[in-house]
Amino acid sequence: MRIKHTILVNVADDADMKDALFGPTDETLAQVVTDKYTKVTSGKVSVVGGETESIGFGDITAVKGVYLKVNAECGIKINGGSAIQLRKSLDTTAGLAKFFIEADISTLQVVAAADTPVSGIFCAWGDASA
């Protein structure tokens, strides 16, 4: 299985992006291609307001990465830790909250705020054994 992702984060003081504060000096360095993982799973996330839902990884026992995209701000718990807040972009009416991590992951939970249901998609990859 091949996993390929490119993450280009560019930050500037102005809308024209002329006063750059942060950005890749060589965009080819922002691309990662990995062929070593054997399993992938993806699906939908739907959490009722005020509830917590665990994301199922199917037959992947050694999860090495996750991408999550949801329609509302929420908390996420990684490996049983404390919830961290996942925020939407400044366009809170149409924006999406996104999360990407490459790490050893045993559990991932989505925590919806009291009156805010959360829905979206996820993709996880790794191996059938550690």
Say what the pLDDT of residue 118 is.
Answer: 96
Q: How far is CA 91 from the centre of its chain?
A: 18
User: Are 29 and 70 part of one and the same domain?
Assistant: no
Query: Average model confidence (pLDDT) for the chain?
Result: 88
Whether residue 108 contacts residue 78, with contact meaning beta carbons closer than 8 Å, is answered with yes
**What pLDDT digit, counting tens, does each position of 66-101 carry?**
999 999 999 999 999 999 999 887 665 667 889 999
Higher pLDDT, 43 or 26: 43
User: Are 42 and 90 part of one and the same domain?
Assistant: yes
Whether residue 119 contacts residue 70, with contact meaning beta carbons closer than 8 Å, is answered with yes
Give the number of domains in the chain.
Answer: 2
Domain that holds residue 102: 37-127
User: Are 24 and 42 part of one and the same domain?
Assistant: no
Total-model pTM: 0.81
Whether residue 66 contacts residue 122, with contact meaning beta carbons closer than 8 Å, is answered with yes
Among 40-54, 82-96, 100-114, the range scoring the smallest mean pLDDT is: 82-96
